[in-house]
Amino acid sequence: MEGLLRFLVAKVIVLALASSFVSCYDPSPLQDFCVAVDDANGVFVNGKFCKDPKYVRAEDFFTSGLNIAGNTMNRVGSNVTNVNVDRIPGLNTLGVSLVRIDFAPGGQNPPHTHPRATEILVLVEGTLLVGFVTSNQDNNRLFSKVLYPGDVFVFPIGMIHFQVNVGRTNAVAFAGLGSQNPGTITIADAVFGSTPLIMPEILAKAFQLDVNVVRFLEGRFSSKYDRHY
């Protein structure tokens, strides 16, 4: 009896762990679609409320404009055009989204992470240096590659990654992400421009910098000026 009890407890633990791993990603839909609709009742859900299927139209699954280059006249020389559930309500619960990224020569999509999605990027124009850094347990290894038109690169979920235009002309890339709302945490903005600011002394020790350098950086990033996404 005791052996059977241990077996059942172990089985429950395994199933719980398995279900927790599955829930780390967008849940599978239980119907054909769940077109997002705003609701003013103040109830928060993991995703968005569903429109009554009787009122769903083709426009709920459509957007346009990705043929138009984004404005790269900003501090990092790039522009990210998001196509997520906020732009296409029909993406709700489908676990996928898309971005167009434009780069001026020398421009970059600075180091950032998507907490809820793996990203797969295809380069259409120009030349990009791309890469991601693994976790501390893997000794923060850098995987990097120079991409040319038609090349594809994958950034695993949660990994800090970047793209830099190393060519002499503009570059254009498109990327698919495995979430309707993948989220973006830009490392420099988050660390030096949080609200409220992290104490300069903490960052000075963490980055091994003079505290006055940290105060300067927080002054630069806390204004949130000229952000491109």
What are the binding residues for oxalate?
A: 109, 114, 119
Cβ contacts of 150 within 8 Å, gap of 6 or more: 122, 123
Task: Read off the tokens for 196.
Answer: 């409220």
Q: Which amino acid is at 50?
A: C
Binding-site positions read 109, 112, 114, 119, 161
Q: How far is CA 182 from the centre of its chain?
A: 5
Which of 53, 46, 119 is CA-nearest to residue 82? 119
Binding-site positions for Mn(2+) read 112, 114, 119, 161
List 165's β-bridge partners, or say none: 128
Q: Where are the beta strands (DSSP E) in 142-184?
A: 142-147, 152-155, 160-165, 171-177
